[in-house]
Structure 1
Amino acid sequence: MRETQDLKVQVAPLSDDLAFLDIVTEWDVESAYQHWKTGILVPETFQAASFPRVVAVCNQKGGVGKTTTAFELAMALIAHGLRVRIVDADDQEASVSVWLRYLLEAHPEDRRLNLRDLFFDAKVKLAEVSYPTPYEGLTLVPSYPDLADVNAKHPTGTDTCLQHHLRKADDVDVTIIDCGPSLGAMTVSALIAADDVIIPVQGASGLDVRGAGALNRTIATVQERMNPDLRVAAAVLTDFERSKIARKIGGSLARAYPGAVILPARTNVKIGEAQLAKEPLRLFAPGSTTVLDYDKGARILFGLGAAA
């Protein structure tokens, strides 16, 4: 791993007396709306992840909160003392590499080594494209827009490239792959490498639920042909506000993924401000409901302490 940061920020755990959502075992779509209380659905059959773990944050639709989900889950995990790597598999400018871009701008000599090199140069190792961040326990594999070459040119070994590199890595507890808004070769490579999939869906968008069909077919194909142990661990209702449509979407996700956690991530206007400030929301607005939801989601998904 390249040493590029001298000062480290220690991310602290949150207090348990904050306004976390309750855990429920069924998503309520039957009671009168005025009596409905939002909760995090954790099916009785759900099993917390073991370590090490590779998680792909994936949805073929853009603007659903994939990067926020990947980054804030990572921040919650390092606050609990875990070592986390984020792999930026999104060639858009609105990606986690941009959120942490100052890390790379401070070291322009390292720009040539990024995720694209891992696919196009068999001699490049994962450690050579993994960079420390200012946050204790968090490393980043960055990307640039030319990562799109992977989908366009499909170099030899694309499908199993990430699996090949990540299965040999023992320097982190959790790898989170922030996928791009397509179901191309890069996303397939992430799904083949992953143990779990987390699917962000906007809490007020019925089109996002309908659009999940293509992703489900891709997941099923990967399970059938390349990665039979891949599971959908969670669906995240991003920009969540209590409403009839959000309640209905949550019910649809619960039916589509009966073994998955359904995590409402309550809306927060400060997410955009945090991105402009190039800070994680967890540090920019530590008491916000969005931060609380991702923190509790991380505890549930990975069995960290008391999540109830």
Structure 2
Amino acid sequence: MIETPRNTVPVPALSEDLAFLDITTEWDLSASYHQWKPSIVVPAPFRPSPEQVRYVITVANQKGGVGKTLTAFELALSLVARGLRVRLIDADPQVASLTLWLPVIYPEGLSEDQRFSLRDVYYDKCTLAEATYPTRYQGLYLVPSFPNLDQVQNERPTGYETCLRWHLRECDDDFDVTIIDSGPSLGALTVSALVAAHDVVVPVQAASGLDVEGAASLYETINTVTTRMNRDLRVAAIFLTDFEKSKLARTIGGEMAKAFPDALIVPSRTCVKIGEAQLEKKALREFAPEATTVLDYDRGAGILIGRAGL
């Protein structure tokens, strides 16, 4: 078992007095725009993920800049605040990835050539447990990645599709949830992450009509994975990132609800402090705990696992 160092920060639960969004079963798109109020959609067919050890969520979208890393990070902290032990896997080879925002705490005396990353897992140089390290937050751990992870994308080592699933099943650690932050493509790494997952969470920019069109490609990839490699995979939630009330945002939310009728639709309201939090190497939840973005991820995460605190 990986021990958490002493110099870590606890993740407290949020106060219920904050400005959380209302919850509804569907948006009333027939209402006039001025009367319409944004809310979290929990459709009738939705069911919270069953409580189980090693529940795996993949955050995916083939488009960059839609808030995948923010979504993975804030969902993870929301679950940690509910008493769960969470592992984040950074499956994005970009330099500006989760590993840069959330540095790991390596054991004392561990030289650089002894520090494992996700790439080492794919090339059988270590187990997933050996590549999992504590972070500054109690209960939150990270499998880091670096630009050399792109080698997996290009070379596609033998068994890459099932690599993460196999390692997650073989791990003897006691994580309640693993969240995989995938890269901005539908290539080898994202396919591997989808094969390993129980649920997919899709961030979609609420201010970009192109994201609705792009979601069709993701839908096709998910269908292929579901048919051939992971029949239990489901799209559990759509997070509408950078959300501000507008006719376009309402249209995009309505289109995503039609495309994924069993999924949560969660507006993630815009926040100007995200960039500042990244510079400080802090989670937005710690940097600005009353930000509406934080509240929306917290409530969405709670509904997803059936611990909404309602």
Q: 1:69 is matched with which residue? A: 71
What amino acid is the match of 1:82?
A: L
**1:27/1:254 contact within 8 Å kept:** no
Please state if 1:113 is matched with 2:116. yes
Deviation at 1:4, TM superposition (A): 7.4
Alpha-carbon distance in structure 2 between the residues aligned to 1:157 and 1:285 = 42
The alignment status of 1:13 with 2:13, answered yes or no, reads yes
Match of 1:235 in 2: 238
Report deviation, 1:103: 4.0
Partner of 2:263: 260
Displacement of 1:27 in angstroms is 1.8
- Equivalent in 191, 202, 205 of residue 202 of structure 1: 205
Instruction: Give the CA deviation at 1:124.
Output: 1.2
Q: Which residue of 2 aligns with 1:44?
A: 44
Aligned partner of 2:135 in structure 1 is: 133
Partner of 1:19, secondary structure, is coil
CA contact (8 A) 2:11 2:77 kept: yes
Give matches, 1:293-304, under 5 Å: 293-304=296-307
Q: What amino acid is aligned across from residue 85 of structure 2 in structure 1?
A: R
Structure 2 match to 1:287:
290
**TM-score normalised by structure 2 residue count:** 0.95
AA in 1 matched with 2:157 = P
| Post-superposition offset of 1:194 | 0.2
Q: How many residues align?
A: 306
Pairing 1:86–2:88 present: yes
RMSD: 1.7
Alpha-carbon shift at residue 105 of structure 1 (Å): 12
Shift of 1:2: 5.4
Q: Which of 42, 59, 62 does residue 60 from structure 1 map onto?
A: 62
Q: Report which stretch shifted further, 254-263 or 43-52.
A: 43-52
Task: Return the alpha-carbon distance in structure 2 between the equivalents of residues 4 and 305 of structure 1.
Answer: 27
Asked if 1:173 corresponds to 2:158, the answer is no
Alpha-carbon deviation of 1:106? Answer: 8.9
Pair 30,105 (structure 1): closer, same or farther in 2 beyond 3 Å: farther
Q: 1:159 maps to what in 2? A: 161
Query: Following the alignment from structure 1 to structure 2, what is the Cα–Cα distance between the partners of residues 211 and 221?
Result: 16
Q: CA deviation at 1:104?
A: 6.0
How far is the alpha carbon of 1:13 from its aligned partner? Answer: 0.2
Percent same amino acid among aligned pairs? 59
Is 1:28–1:251's contact at 8 Å kept on the other side of the alignment? Answer: no
Q: What's the offset of the Cα at 1:243?
A: 0.4
User: Quick one: distance in 1 between partners of 2:107 and 2:96?
Assistant: 16
SS in 1 for 2:170: coil
Alpha-carbon displacement from aligned partner over 1:147-167 (angstroms, at most 9, x marks no partner):
000010111110000000112
Classify the secondary structure of the residue corresponding to 1:35: coil
1:108 shift after superposition: 7.2
CA displacement, residues 210-247 of structure 1 (integer Å, 9 cap, x when unaligned): 01111111100000000011000001000000000000
Summarize deviations over 1:256-306 as a string: whole Å, max 9, x none.
Answer: 000000000000000110000000000100011001000000110011152
Shift, 1:126, TM fit: 1.1
Unaligned 5+ runs, structure 1: none
Deviation at 1:29, TM superposition (A): 1.3
- Judged with a 3 Å threshold, the aligned counterparts in structure 2 of structure 1 residues 109 and 289 are, in CA distance, closer, same or farther, namely same
Counterpart of 1:28 in structure 2 is 28
**1:271/1:2 CA distance change after superposition, 3 Å:** same
CA apart distance, 1:38: 0.5
Amino acid at match of 1:191: L
Shift, 1:102, TM fit: 6.5
Aligned: 1:187 with 2:166: no
C-alpha change, 1:106 and 1:245, in structure 2 (3 Å) is: farther
Q: Shift of the alpha carbon at 1:3? A: 5.3
Secondary structure, aligned partner of 1:233: strand
Pick closer, same or farther for the CA change 1:58–1:305 going to 2, 3 Å.
Answer: closer
